[in-house]
Amino acid sequence: MKKNKKMTISRSRNSSFDPKKLNPFLVCVISLAIFIPSSCSDLSPPTLINFGDSNSDTGGVLAGTGLPISLPHGITFFHRGTGRLGDGRLIIDFFCEELKLTYLSPYLESLAPNFTSGVNFAVSGATTLPQFVPFALDIQVRQFIHFKNRSLELQSLGYKRENYMMDEEGFRNGAYMIDIGQNDLLVALYASNLTYKPVVQKIPSFVAEIKLAIQNLYGNGGRKFWIHNTGPIGCSPKELALHPHNKRDVDQIGCLRVHNQVAKSFNKALKNVCKQLRSQLKDATIVYVDVYTIKYNLFAHPKTYGFENPLMGCCGYGGPPNNYNVKATCGQPGYSLCANPSKSIVWDGVHFTDAANRIVASAILSSNFSTPNLTLHQFWLP
């Protein structure tokens, strides 16, 4: 199975799937044609409730800490800083576009948020552990419980969905998304001097927090869960620049071996947790998404998807091979910007570009990398 999944986005002529060429709208149309009966009027409107880190932070760290994230971040699509770490949209933004939703407002946004499409608790830098530290996963779940209780309380006092709020149906039928873990792995790698065994020993405690989050969300009414595994952190230009290495330390495409080995071990444990929870929470749907394979194939076959210099960030300092320097990161004095961000996979040494996120989102929406094999649209089918 793993070989077939990889083949779907490789350069093989036998591949039947190319995420670069996949039109997200066609995914929607095909899903509708196959699964939706003739009348669509009774379908519940989609809502997304998201938890995570910078991979899906649409402005939480800006609202929560005041950390300025201004141009050049956002330069490609929004043409202004939005609190997103990237030149444009994140994967979750493409999900919103696919589902015809407004982009998710951060839970912490105090001025004119719009929660009719859902709510985003993700904050850049978030981890699963330690607990009780802003903005760890357990804190995000606690924030959700307060948000739900307060929303329903206000509606009992006369506030309506038209007041840019989530209603009871939105909470009941929402897709609860979690994308977190890479920061835990990186912190553990740094603490172990990039040693595999000490990091792997900590992975059960990381995935236990994700399991607990799903259980708590289930206890508060969640029944639809969409869980992303972590990406190939060893292909990050930042990591390659920060850690001197030789040929034995990297794989065949130049990514750090130990980083990707711990990511794979984390993903294996997370997939097992999802499997366990499916057997325990019989009336819940828990979808595990293999983001790692999708992202790794971009680095392995960049030209197939229109990218150049896959291990080099677009925005940073230092030039080849990685264009990353901790003293002049993207947006800080001394940084430089590549001529065409759409030719880069990585924006600032860590986070993906709008162009790369589009391809990753399209592959995810295909359902080819999901266990069970479901699309987001199918969450809201009768």
Q: Which residues are catalytic?
A: 54, 348, 351
Q: Both tokens of residue 14?
A: 């036998």
Rounded Cα–Cα distance for residues 49 and 102 (Å): 13
Cβ atoms of residues 209 and 142 within 8 Å:
no
Cβ atoms of residues 366 and 101 within 8 Å:
no
CB neighbours of 68 closer than 8 A, spacing ≥ 6? 62, 81
User: Which among 223, 245, 248, 364 is positioned nearest to 298, based on CA atoms?
Assistant: 364
Residue 182 corresponds to which amino acid? Answer: Q
Which 3 state secondary structure label does DSSP give 119? Answer: strand
- Burial-class residue 271 by CB neighbours within 10 Å (0-12, 13-18, 19+): middle
First to last CA, the chain: 30
Rounded Cα–Cα distance for residues 96 and 104 (Å): 8
CB neighbours of 369 closer than 8 A, spacing ≥ 6? 5, 289, 290, 291, 293, 294, 363
Sheet harboring 370-371: ordered strands across? 118-120, 48-52, 175-179, 224-228, 285-289, 370-371
CA 346 from chain center: how many Å?
A: 14
Q: Both tokens of residue 243?
A: 């850690």
Q: Both tokens of residue 189?
A: 């790698």
